[in-house]
Structure 1
Amino acid sequence: MTTMVDVARRAGVSVATVSHVVNDTRPVRPDTRAAVLAAIEDLGYTHNTLARSLVTARTRSIGLAVSAISNPYFTEILQGVEAGALEAGYSLLIADPHDDPGHERKVVQLLHERRVDGMIVAPSAEPAELIDYVTRRRVPTVFLDRLVGDGFDQVCAESAEPVRRLVEHLADLGHTRIGLVAGLPGLSTTTERVEGYRAGLRARGLPFAPELLAGGNSEAEGAQDATRHLLAAPQPPTAIITANNAMTIGALQALRDLGLEVPRDIALACFDDFSWADLFTPRLTAIAQPSKELGAAAVRLLLARLDDPARPPRTVRLPCTFVHRTSCGCPETA
């Protein structure tokens, strides 16, 4: 088996220099680093991560706990986390807590028992057990996508202002009855998007009508029911905003079942863009979250916490992008 000694001989450097290159523990001159990396490639040297973890008490691994990994939004976040972790020399252990508080606690404990150096977690609507676990055991943790309050590292996209912009856009098109299919109660994203909805109504001088706000529980099936509920009102909405991509699918299914055509019969705009949104007929007007950037930012926050456990906690908010298409009723050329 090839060792560091073999690499050092091939590169003409000391074993300590090879160690610094492999472990990134000290700056090494670019030409020397290149020689070491070339020797590693030539000899097929594989770094013994396990042996190093016994010395440093680090496993160079990160636990990632996000629900609905099959959701395109979280898939892109995963790509951002994976790319950031790989660049920093970390591996990932991934688990799905299913947005269930009890299961979430078990998942986090299992990741912790596998000695990950830290965790990135998208918390459920009731994260008390999760917060208690990572706080008591001092597990370096970054909360992703959803805020849990002060005192923790967390990263998420803006939620209120983008929804406000959707409301204002629909109002400017002449809609005065604008419905919202909101997400799972208790999530910070749900609270903020409802706040943005109400702020948009106020900005355009429109009253808030409770019957135009329906909960879709952040899932397609719930959004189907919520959309039917909205359209059964004595004065139904002429436009609907859905608060995540899964609920957009549910709303579209409900509209199809009711024989309604977008945007001829009702306008539709959604929070969360996804790769095939541009392929729908009509093309979906959407708020695009910086998914991969969120994942990468979470990794940076966690690595900063590992390097300096005493640093003050940070909350990072990233802006979203308004993607103007035609489901809102605007012409193709708008």
Structure 2
Amino acid sequence: MAEVARVAGVSIATVSYVVNGTRQVRAETRQRVEQAIARTGYTHNTLARALATSSTDSIGVVVSAITNPFFAEVLGGVDRAAGRSGHTLLFADSHDEPEREFQVVRGLLQRRVDGIVLAPSTDPARTLDCLAASKTPTVLVDRLVDHRFDRIGPENEESTASLVKHLTGLGHHRIGMITGPAGLGTTGERLTGYRAGLDRAGLPYDASLVAEGRSDIPGGRAATERLLAVPSPPTALVVGNNAMVIGSMRALRGADLSIPGDIALVSYEDPPGADLFTPPLTAFAQPCAALGEGAVRMLLDRLAHPYTAPRAERLAPQLMHRRSCGCPEHPTTGI
């Protein structure tokens, strides 16, 4: 900075004002400093600034499976919002493994990130206790498992209930449900919505029509095969996420069943290219990018107002009404 000041003919303090944006500088002076920066090849020392300001201008992001298109889109939203606020991202994938999640979060805390955006694993208790003890601002995304933190996620219950309602309106009385792993908040909420939809239609809940699909393609296929093997198999399926619905379609094709002629199929989550499926898939599309951008907005609010009560936000998914439910290509009625 001293060399930049010498070349620009200004004080070191003026260079600091320009580099850090801490004080207004005349346009002519700013231009001289920026030209001197370019000539000298000066690079801002973020570590030194962090020691002086107790801020690294960095955000840690931990998701449970970057291979899931849902989290890839969420991360895109986080990246855009962080870029607008001038923050750098440090990213890690926990692979939905609690021990790895704990280790990568500890690593981010050691790097003194200003805050963390976390999509929790299936068993995040140790990690969340660590974050609470560190008092590091944290926003939970998707799985809203701990009221000590700010949280943002999609609306799950009413959306799933509306899928069941739509299927009952098309004449289905044996409606199966493929869920994610037991114990997850999203699994519980979507299962609650499924049961609410049945109840509103006056249909009993039948546990034999519910199968766990592990939230992945092989799990979705295996769960569908189990449901097809019950004595009175379902005539319609509600699948709990975008990966499992791919597995479900493979199982139905393997059983030589047509969609929706032999069995109707709908999904909570909209896989990439779902409009190109045969037939196109009826699904609720989550507001993935908006979830990521909202998580950063909540985190910045928490940094600015550290003593306010934690809050939760729910964003509504968008219905993509197509033909796998048994409706015509251009349905005139909504769900």
Give the TM-score normalised by structure 1. Answer: 0.90
Relative distance call for 1:43 and 1:204 in structure 2 (3 A) is same
Following superposition, the deviation at residue 172 of structure 1 comes to 0.8
Supply the AA of the counterpart residue of 2:117.
I
Choose which of 278, 298, 306 in structure 2 pairs with 1:301.
Answer: 298
- Gaps in structure 2 of 5+ consecutive residues: none
Give the Cα separation in 1 of the matches to 2:31 and 2:267. Answer: 48
Give the Cα separation in 2 of the matches to 1:203 and 1:21. Answer: 63
* Match of residue 110 from structure 2: 113
Give the Cα separation in 2 of the matches to 1:266 and 1:329. Answer: 9
Contact 1:182 1:214 in 2 (8 A): yes
How do 1:36-75 residues align onto structure 2 when only pairs under 5 Å count? Answer: 36=30, 40=34, 44=38, 46-75=43-72
Relative distance call for 1:239 and 1:133 in structure 2 (3 A) is same
Contact 1:290 1:319 in 2 (8 A): yes
Relative distance call for 1:14 and 1:287 in structure 2 (3 A) is farther
Q: SS at the partner of 1:125?
A: coil
Aligned length: 328
* Match of residue 265 from structure 1: 262
Supply the AA of the counterpart residue of 1:330.
C
Give the Cα separation in 2 of the matches to 1:61 and 1:116. Answer: 5
Give the Cα separation in 2 of the matches to 1:160 and 1:91. Answer: 35
Contact 1:61 1:90 in 2 (8 A): yes
How do 1:1-334 residues align onto structure 2 when only pairs under 5 Å count? Answer: 5=5, 19=16, 22-25=19-22, 36=30, 40=34, 44=38, 46-334=43-331
Relative distance call for 1:285 and 1:56 in structure 2 (3 A) is same
Give the Cα separation in 1 of the matches to 2:256 and 2:28. Answer: 64
Q: SS at the partner of 1:136?
A: helix
- Gaps in structure 1 of 5+ consecutive residues: none
Following superposition, the deviation at residue 4 of structure 1 comes to 6.1
Q: SS at the partner of 1:332?
A: coil
Give the TM-score normalised by structure 2. Answer: 0.90
Relative distance call for 1:57 and 1:8 in structure 2 (3 A) is farther
Contact 2:268 2:285 in 1 (8 A): yes
Contact 2:157 2:194 in 1 (8 A): yes
- Judge which range, 33-42 or 167-176, deviates more: 33-42
Q: SS at the partner of 1:274?
A: coil
Give the Cα separation in 2 of the matches to 1:281 and 1:264. Answer: 12
User: C-alpha root-mean-square deviation of aligned residues, in Å?
Assistant: 2.4
Contact 2:144 2:151 in 1 (8 A): yes
Following superposition, the deviation at residue 95 of structure 1 comes to 0.8
Relative distance call for 1:310 and 1:34 in structure 2 (3 A) is farther
Following superposition, the deviation at residue 234 of structure 1 comes to 0.9
Q: SS at the partner of 1:282?
A: coil
Give the Cα separation in 2 of the matches to 1:52 and 1:7. Answer: 22
